[in-house]
Structure formats: structure tokens, C-alpha cells
């Protein structure tokens, strides 16, 4: 026991003296207006701040400077020189609209959301109807420059990323600090840091966090498991530890599939791309799903509510379990469920080494496959295509095989 305590104390001391950790701690201790007001990730706050910069009549004292720089970035062929622009927020429910005597620039701002069906077409129609004689530009602004969800609107909207916006703001601050009010410079620097740290997650503090977790995965697990009892860690250090956890793929198994985590989104997207339907119930331990193509005629439709697949991640072994089984009994599936239960020995024999030996009371496991899965190899940026590859290689063919097994059982 004493050896374990000494080992934990040693791990804590190494972490707290790591120069990368000290940098994170220092960054988090610096006051930032957007973090104080909890505005760093609110889409509407981004639009308001950008509209403030774009408006030459606002009190940043820069006149048309930001308007000129940002409009040229948003629309390369805008005729903005010498024009008098008006800036509107939420006009006709549109995030930002710039209007001059010659043209308009419509900005639809999406940070953590996507355009809904028909939304962009509706906005474009509204603007062109209101300004039929002007040159109308449409900009789809997202964190990473993604295209609109609506493929029919992609040709009408120019994409722009927040990274490009921030780079332009940095350059403008550096070159024109003499004409921008000192207080406005502080606000803009705070905004750049807040977006980089909490939205884009490409600040040096974020890179440090990922490096530390990659180097100390199991040490960090021990520290987090004992965090409440470690008296030597003060409040700023605890904040930095929480930052480590939130800015890496580190997570305990029972929260792995929480819906606000990028892993859930990546798995859901990849499964849907392969004709699976994800169970939307709020269960962060398991991710349940069914095969849309499973069990068509002559098999009864309630079969899709009788059997299903699930994932569960075990952080202590870095294993992602891919399972298949029988769902709890309902009035609709009772007879079909009973038939499947009566054939469990034959089903298990067919599944071989992947057959589940234990039998649950409600959910009955039939098949289980262990997939090696190290979450530290995934980032929010690469998770979608990486998990797409995992589903293709480990799940799709197995799901087809399982379907054949069940169909053969029910055909007898």
C-alpha cells in the first residue's frame, strides 16, 4: 500500500512540474472576458462579436479597417472599396447581413451546429427577393470550413473557416494597432484565445494537453481516480487537470458514448453511413444500433425490435466490445423472442469463439467480439474517417454474417 501511495505521489509530482502542464495552468489563470461570461462556445455570441468588428460605426475606433479586411476574406470579388455598408444582426433570422448600394454579403454562422433542411435556400431566396438589383454574396462560416449539409446549396455559398478569420484578425492587430483602441485590442486578443482554446482546440495549450495524455495515459487514469483524495493539488492545478481531460480523448468507460463527445458523433455518423440505425436513448455506457437492412420479408417486422447490436468501451483494457443479442420482452416480440431463446444453443454453436456464455435476465447476449481500441490515437479532427474504417473492417461483414445466422435459425 505504501509503495502504491509513493508511486501516485511520484506521478502527481512529475505531472505538476511538467513544463507543458505549467503552461496550461498559466494560460487558464489569465483573465479572459469571453470565458468569464461563458460566451466562448455560444454561436450567437460569435455572430455578435463579428458584427461589432464589421460595423465601421462601432466603438473599436478602427472605422472600416475590419470591414475591409474581413469582407475581402469572406468574398474575394466583393466591390467593397468606397462603399457605405450597413451591418445587421438577425435580420429575417439571418445571422449577419452586410448591405451597400451595390451588393450584399450574407453570413450564416455555424460553430457547433449544421444547416437544417431548406434553411440556406430560404435565406438566399429572402435576400435575392429583397435585393433583386444588387450583387448578392452568401458565406457559410464554420469552425473548419465545412460545406453546407444541403448539397444543392453548396454552389451558392462560399465556405470560410474560423481559422482564416482568426489569422486575419491577428495580422490586422499586428499591422494596425495604432488605429485600434487599446480596449478593443484586449477584447480581440481574448476572442482569438477563447476560440482557439475552446472551439478550434488548436491553441498551444490544447496541443500540450494531447501530448501529456499521450505520454501519461495510465498515470493520468490513476491520478483522476484518486483526485478527490490528493490534498497536494490546489485549485489552479485541478482546473488544468480538468482541461487535460476535456481536451483529449481520455474518458472512463461509463461515459464514453455520452452524446456531447466527439466519439459518439463519429460512431453514429459511420454507422449511419453503413445503413445502421443508432438507438438515440441517452445511455452513455452502451451505443445500441440495428441494421436497417436486417430481416425483411418474409421475416416479421418486430424482429428488428427483438435483436440488436451494441458497443461498449472498457478503458482499463482498451477494448471496444461489439455485441449482438436479444432485447427485453415486449407484448409485440414475446413469441418471436421465445423462439430465439429456444434456439440459443444452436446460435451459440454457430458463433463459435464469439458466442456469449453468460445469459442476462433482460438483455440476452448471443455474440461478442473484442476490438482493440486506443482512444488516444483519435482526435476530433481524424475520428470520423478513422472510425469509418473501423466500422468497415470490424463490423459490416460480421453484421451480415450474424444476420444470416439468425435468418437460418428462424427459417427452420
- Report the pLDDT value the prediction gives residue 1, as an integer from 0 to 100: 47
The angle, 0 to 180 degrees and rounded to 10, between the axes of the packed helices 397-411 and 344-351 is 150
- Model confidence at 253, in pLDDT bands (50, 70, 90)? very low
Let me know: does 189 contact 177? Beta carbons within 8 Å.
no
Range with the lowest mean pLDDT among 135-144, 170-179, 181-190, 302-311?
302-311
C-alpha dihedral over 117, 121, 122, 126, to 10 degrees? 170
Residue 296: is its pLDDT beyond 60? no
Residue 9: is its pLDDT beyond 90? no
Tally Cβ neighbours within 10 Å of residue 70.
23
Mean pLDDT of 349-359: 81
Task: Indicate the pairing of strand 158-161 with strand 135-142.
Answer: parallel
Residue 294: is its pLDDT beyond 60? no
- Report the pLDDT value the prediction gives residue 341, as an integer from 0 to 100: 86
Range with the lowest mean pLDDT among 71-85, 111-125, 334-348?
71-85
**Which residues lie across from 99 on neighbouring strands?**
86, 104
CA 278, distance to chain mean position in Å, is: 17
- Report the pLDDT value the prediction gives residue 141, as an integer from 0 to 100: 95
Bigger pLDDT: 301 or 213? 213
Q: Which three cell numbers stand for residue 218?
A: 495510465
Phi, psi of 208 (to 5 degrees): -60, -45
- Counting Cβ atoms within 10 Å, is residue 281 exposed (0-12), middle (13-18) or buried (19+)? exposed
**Which residues lie across from 291 on neighbouring strands?**
276
- Mean pLDDT for all residues in the chain: 86
- The Cα angle at residue 406 between residues 403 and 408, in degrees rounded to 5: 105
Let me know: does 42 contact 195? Beta carbons within 8 Å.
no
- Report the pLDDT value the prediction gives residue 272, as an integer from 0 to 100: 92
CA atoms within 13 A on the CB side of 22: 6
Residue 301: is its pLDDT beyond 80? no
Strands (E), 44-110: 86-91, 94-99, 103-110
Tally Cβ neighbours within 10 Å of residue 398.
16
pTM exceeds 0.75: no
From 346, 386, 395, 402, select the one nearest 266 (Cα to Cα): 386
Let me know: does 373 contact 393? Beta carbons within 8 Å.
no
Let me know: does 50 contact 43? Beta carbons within 8 Å.
no
Q: What is the pLDDT of residues 146-161, one digit of tens each?
A: 899 888 999 999 999 9
- Report the pLDDT value the prediction gives residue 255, as an integer from 0 to 100: 66
DSSP letter assigned to residue 366: E
Q: How far apart are the C-alpha atoms of 83 and 87, rounded to whole Å?
A: 13
Residue 401: is its pLDDT beyond 50? yes
Element (H, E) at 208: helix 204-215
Q: What is the pLDDT of residues 161-196, one digit of tens each?
A: 999 999 999 999 999 999 999 999 999 999 999 999
DSSP letter assigned to residue 355: B
Strands (E), 111-208: 135-142, 158-161
Question: Which range, 1-15, 43-57, 184-198, has the best average confidence (pLDDT)?
Answer: 184-198
N residues, the chain: 412
Let me know: does 373 contact 322? Beta carbons within 8 Å.
no
Q: What is the pLDDT of residues 374-394, one digit of tens each?
A: 887 787 778 888 899 999 999
Mean pLDDT of 348-365: 79
- CA torsion sign, 274 to 276 to 277 to 279? negative
Amino acid at each position: 500500500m505504501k509503495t502504491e501511495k509513493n508511486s501516485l505521489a511520484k506521478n502527481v509530482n512529475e505531472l505538476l512540474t511538467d513544463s507543458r502542464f505549467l503552461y496550461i495552468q498559466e494560460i487558464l489563470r489569465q483573465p479572459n472576458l469571453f470565458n468569464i461570461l461563458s460566451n466562448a462556445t455560444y454561436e450567437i455570441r460569435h455572430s455578435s462579436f463579428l458584427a461589432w468588428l464589421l460595423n465601421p460605426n462601432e466603438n473599436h475606433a478602427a472605422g472600416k479597417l475590419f470591414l475591409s479586411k474581413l469582407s475581402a476574406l469572406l468574398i474575394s470579388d466583393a466591390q467593397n472599396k468606397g462603399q457605405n455598408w450597413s451591418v445587421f444582426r438577425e435580420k429575417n433570422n439571418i445571422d449577419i447581413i452586410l448591405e451597400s448600394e451595390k451588393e450584399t454579403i450574407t453570413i450564416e454562422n455555424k460553430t457547433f451546429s449544421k444547416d437544417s433542411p431548406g434553411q440556406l435556400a430560404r435565406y438566399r431566396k429572402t435576400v435575392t427577393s429583397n435585393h433583386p438589383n444588387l450583387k448578392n454574396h452568401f458565406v457559410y462560416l464554420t469552425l473548419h470550413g465545412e460545406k453546407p449539409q444541403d448539397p444543392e446549396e453548396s454552389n451558392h455559398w462560399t465556405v470560410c473557416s474560423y481559422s482564416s478569420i482568426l489569422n486575419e484578425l491577428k495580422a490586422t492587430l499586428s499591422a494596425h494597432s495604432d488605429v485600434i483602441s487599446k480596449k478593443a485590442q484586449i477584447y480581440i486578443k481574448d476572442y482569438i484565445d477563447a476560440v482557439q482554446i475552446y472551439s478550434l482546440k488548436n491553441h498551444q495549450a490544447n496541443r500540450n494537453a494531447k501530448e501529456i495524455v499521450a505520454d501519461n495515459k495510465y498515470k493520468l487514469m490513476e491520478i483522476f481516480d484518486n483526485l478527490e483524495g490528493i490534498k497536494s493539488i490546489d485549485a489552479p492545478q485541478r482546473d488544468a487537470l480538468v482541461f487535460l481531460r476535456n481536451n483529449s480523448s481520455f474518458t472512463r468507460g461509463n461515459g464514453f458514448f455520452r452524446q456531447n463527445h466527439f466519439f459518439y458523433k463519429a460512431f453514429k455518423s459511420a454507422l449511419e453511413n453503413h445503413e445502421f440505425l443508432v438507438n438515440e436513448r441517452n445511455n452513455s455506457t452502451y451505443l445500441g444500433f440495428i441494421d436497417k437492412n436486417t430481416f425483411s420479408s418474409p421475416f416479421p417486422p418486430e424482429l428488428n425490435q427483438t435483436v440488436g447490436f451494441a458497443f461498449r468501451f472498457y478503458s482499463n483494457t482498451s477494448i471496444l466490445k461489439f455485441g449482438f443479442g436479444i432485447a427485453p420482452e415486449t407484448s409485440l416480440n414475446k413469441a418471436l423472442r421465445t423462439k430465439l431463446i429456444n434456439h440459443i444453443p444452436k446460435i451459440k454453436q454457430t458463433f463459435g469463439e464469439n458466442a456469449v456464455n453468460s445469459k442476462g435476465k433482460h438483455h440476452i447476449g448471443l455474440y461478442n467480439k473484442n476490438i482493440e481500441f486506443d482512444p488516444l490515437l483519435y482526435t476530433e479532427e481524424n475520428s470520423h474517417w478513422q472510425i469509418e474504417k473501423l466500422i468497415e473492417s470490424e463490423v459490416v461483414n460480421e453484421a451480415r454474417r450474424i444476420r444470416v445466422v439468425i435468418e437460418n435459425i428462424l427459417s427452420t
